[in-house]
Structure 1
Amino acid sequence: MVVITIFEVSPSHIQSGPSPLSSLHSNIPTFTFHSNSLFFSGSARFCSFTVILLLMDYNYLKEIDGKRLHDPLMMPKAMTTSTSSRIRVQGPIIVGAGPSGLAVAACLKQRGIPSLILERANCLASLWQLKTYDRLRLHLPKHLCQLPHMPFPLDFPTYPTKQQFVAYLESYAQSFHIEPEYNTTVVSAEFDHGCNFWRMKTSRVGLKIEESSTNIEYVCQWLVVASGENAEEVKPDFEGMDEFRGPIIHTSHYKSGDPFRDKRVLVIGCGNSGMEICLDLCNYNARPSLVVRDTLHVLPQEMLGRSTFGVSMWLLKWLPMRLVDSFLLLVSRLTIGDTDRLGLYRPKIGPLELKKRTGKTPVLDVGTLAKIRNGSIKVFPGVKRFTSHAIEFVDGKLEDFDAIILATGYKNNIPTWLKDNVLFSNKDGHSKKPFPEGWKGENGLYSVGFAKRGLLGTSMDAERVAEDIELQWSLIKRFENNRVTVN
């Protein structure tokens, strides 16, 4: 006897192509359905459709059941232990315990879907905790940076400090009972078309002396990449760099200007970090200089009593981007002056259009421009080469320096471990799909935090991913509860 399973699915969720159940690894034969084979009333909120499973030989089904008992991929989660070399995870695996990973884990938790976060560091938000300078604050107001389902505390300032943001993330993880697997590095992740699962090889370093490094393979149906765009430092290689006798550090190792008191420091890179570190060095009586190689937009952090970003978002609801850009540049010139006179030349296209095309974020001034105007911070063009104690610039000038700080940014490391050429570029790891489509790939692959839209874009991606997985999860659970019985 064959029992035909009946499902109820919202018409808006029915799509052509393979069903999410087609990847369900079970003793029940899998199937696909197409929208052109479904018949339902357009006025009905829900539609019902029947899926007729082919009769299979009873002995074959018994053989499948026998294999399930010995195949680690088909075992229930309760039948595997943390000491085994292969662990099947029933829900999604999330790579990265930063804001993006925490956000999607919380959204899944709200929908009753378990997940596992793998994090290579020994703490959550490792970039914020381990690789940022002490004076860092959120550059955008807190209401634009909060993660889904939990606002910032009311007593937090408009622009929370680094320490406050980390405290918020830790409270967020506790509130949603998120417990990442720390010290676990994903070595490779590849979709296995034979079993329709993701196989993830990891390396875990023991936290105690008596514990040794272990290699575990995780198996899951959904993989969410949330490792961020700032996974690895970018360190340029200039001519003669090895000859320089002073310290050369990346901003990931800079905490404050205290070690650089009374020293001549060259900061290479003029993004938000480079500009703010120059300001911090001034506060410690250092003598900073700033290398500005490319054009850039510098905007006031606030205009008209509101955050510049908030004003931009509001204006974009009513005006085309070109006009909003013109407005931003006009107000900027009135409030912070002509930055070209300071050696900070603006691009030919506006700040929002530049962000859309290249992902390059405008710099929000928090006091650096005033230090450049009064001569506390010098501005130089690109670096040509290093000597033992000086830097030669592309304009021929030669200046002595005691230390170099590389504010040259970060890059993601996705191409080194993810075996996928559909969602992410194998060259630089950037999403191949433009915003807002870059959150979903193929075979249960998702990404969160790569839209170049800040924490607000992260929250949007997290909700989309959780909603999409929820649809598949609910179908699978119904399928399991209404599976075929053969007598």
Structure 2
Amino acid sequence: MAERGVPFDWFEIGSGIGGNWRYGNDNGRSAAYDSLHIDTSKDRMAYSDFPMPEEFPNYLHHSQVLEYFESYAERFALNDRVTLRTRVERVDPLDEGGYRVTVENLATDERRSERYSDVLVCNGHHWCRRMPDFPGTFDGEMLHSRDYRNPDGLEGKVVLVLGVGNSGVDIACDVAPVAARTLLASRRGAHVIPRHLLGRPTDKWTTPASSRLPLGVQR
């Protein structure tokens, strides 16, 4: 929008940009753990107008993802466009069109409302826990991946990881060296592929043609 001259206000509840990639984000919504690396290679992830630094590895650690976003914001003068430590309290549709947005400045407790023709909600989904509910009783510790940081405290324990998504597999690998036993459970199978294939990042082997294959074949 800035590039096209579209006026906008940009609100962020935390004290810095980066969202999920700001480890320990004071907005309380980061799910990043100590060992987290992104599963998309740097060339595939990079913005077209801002290449990744050559010295960065193919798959970035969460601290490098944040560094990249911060560098992008600085390069394109976006830091002056974001209002930090500001919570959006309400978004009310108006009869005459548009929306009335009420925000609170967390530093001053000041509230104000503005009218906008459009609203973009870009708060992600990693901050919202979805806990399974199984019949029976279990009196052990339950920890959502949203709250996992490292395997400290899991030494010598039997650990069951539910789900074979990115975070599930990452955490199982993280825990296995210290746990007495690590189990990985899933309601359906999955193909676990390495990050590199024949010396190249795996996602560099994908093509526009392969992306048009049926989802079942892609999986």
Give the match's secondary structure for 2:91.
Answer: strand
In 1, the alpha carbon distance for the partners of 2:77 and 2:7 equals 10
Aligned with 2:53 (options 147, 153, 170): 153
Q: 1:249 to 1:155 in 2, by over 3 A?
A: same
Q: Unpaired runs of 5+ in structure 2?
A: 25-30
Between the aligned partners of 1:171 and 1:229, the Cα distance in structure 2 is 24
Deviation at 1:270, TM superposition (A): 1.6
Render the CA deviation track for 1:34-89: whole Å, top value 9, x for unaligned.
Answer: xxxxxxxxxxxxxxxxxxxxxxxxxxxxxxxxxxxxxxxxxxxxxxxxxxxxxxxx
Q: Does 1:321 align with 2:213?
A: yes
Task: Calculate the aligned-residue CA RMSD, in Å.
Answer: 2.5
Please state whether the residue corresponding to 1:310 is helix, strand or coil: helix
Q: For residue 252 of structure 1, give the secondary structure of its aligned residue in structure 2.
A: helix
Indicate yes or no: 2:29 matched with 1:127: no
Structure 1 residue 139 corresponds to structure 2 residue 32: no
- 1:176 is aligned, of 55, 76, 79, to 76
Structure 1: how far apart are the matches of 2:136 and 2:17?
38
Aligned pairs for 1:275-290 within 5 A = 275-290=169-184
Q: Is the 8 A contact 2:126 2:146 kept in 1?
A: no
SS in 1 for 2:103: strand
Q: Shift of the alpha carbon at 1:231?
A: 4.0
Task: Tell me the equivalent position of 1:351.
Answer: 218
Map Cα deviations across residues 257-310 of structure 1 (whole Å, 9 max, x no partner).
132122222212221111111111123355321121223333333334333322
Task: Indicate the residue corresponding to 1:110 in structure 2.
Answer: 3
Give me the TM-score of the superposition, normalised by structure 2. Answer: 0.82
* Inter-CA distance 287–183: structure 2 relative to 1 (3 Å threshold): farther
**2:102 matched to 1:201?**
yes
The aligned counterpart of 1:478 is none
Change (3 A) 1:216 1:237: farther
Q: Deviations over 1:436-479 (max 9, x none)?
A: xxxxxxxxxxxxxxxxxxxxxxxxxxxxxxxxxxxxxxxxxxxx
Measured in 2, the distance between the counterparts of 1:236 and 1:124 equals 31
Distance in 2, Cα, partners of 1:228 & 1:116: 18
1:237 corresponds, among 121, 125, 133, to 133
Distance verdict in 2 for CA 1:303–1:147, change over 3 Å: same
Asked if structure 2 preserves the Cα contact closer than 8 Å seen for 1:257 and 1:283, the reply is no
CA distance in 2, matches of 1:217, 1:304: 55
- What letter matches 1:192 in structure 2? L
CA separation of 1:137 and 1:197: change in aligned 2, threshold 3 A? same
Cα distance in 2 between the residues matched to 1:231 and 1:182 = 18
Q: Does 1:308 align with 2:202?
A: yes
Bigger-Rg structure (1/2): 1
**Contact 1:268 1:292 survives alignment (8 Å):** yes
| Cα deviation, residue 252, structure 1 | 1.6
Structure 1 ranges of 4+ moved more than 4 A: none
Tell me, yes or no, if structure 1 residue 191 matches structure 2 residue 93.
yes
Shift of 1:148: 4.5
Instruction: Provide the C-alpha distance between the structure 1 equivalents of 2:126 and 2:147, rounded to a whole number of angstroms.
Output: 14
Instruction: Indicate which of 138, 146, 158 corresponds to 1:264.
Output: 158
Letter in 2 for 1:152: M
Cα distance between partner residues in 2 of 1:308 and 1:157: 14
Instruction: Say if 1:186 and 1:200, in contact at 8 Å, map to a contact too.
Output: yes
Query: Aligned pair in 2 of structure 1 residues 235, 183: CA closer, same or farther (>3 Å)?
Result: farther
**Shift in Å, 1:164:** 0.7
Q: Which residue of 2 aligns with 1:167?
A: 67
Could you report, residue by residue, the CA deviation over 1:103-129 in whole angstroms, capped at 9, with x for unpaired residues? Answer: xxxxx2223334322123333223222
Return the offset for 1:228: 2.0
| Equivalent residues, number | 210
Q: 1:297·1:351 contact (CA, 8 Å) conserved in 2? A: no
Question: Which residue in 1 is equivalent to 2:148?
Answer: 254
Greater RCO, 1 or 2 (C-alpha within 8 Å, sep 6+): 1
The residue number in structure 1 matching 2:28 is: none
Asked if 2 retains the 8 angstrom alpha-carbon contact of 1:257 and 1:286, the reply is no
Query: Could you tell me which amino acid in structure 1 is paired with residue 218 of structure 2?
Result: P
Structure-2 separation of matches of 1:223 and 1:122: 21
Q: Report the 3-state secondary structure (helix = DSSP H, G, I; strand = E; otherwise coil) of the residue aligned with 2:132.
A: coil
Rounded to whole Å, the distance in 2 between the matches of 1:200 and 1:273 is 34
Distance change in 2, residues 1:268/1:299 (3 Å):
same
Alpha carbons of structure 1 residues 200 and 148: separation in structure 2 relative to 1, 3 Å: farther
Contact 1:233/1:250 (8 A) holds in 2: yes
- Inter-partner Cα distance in structure 1 for 2:160 and 2:136: 16
Q: 1:321 to 1:304 in 2, by over 3 A?
A: farther
Q: Tell me, in whole angstroms, the C-alpha distance in 2 between the residues paired with 1:216 and 1:120.
A: 15
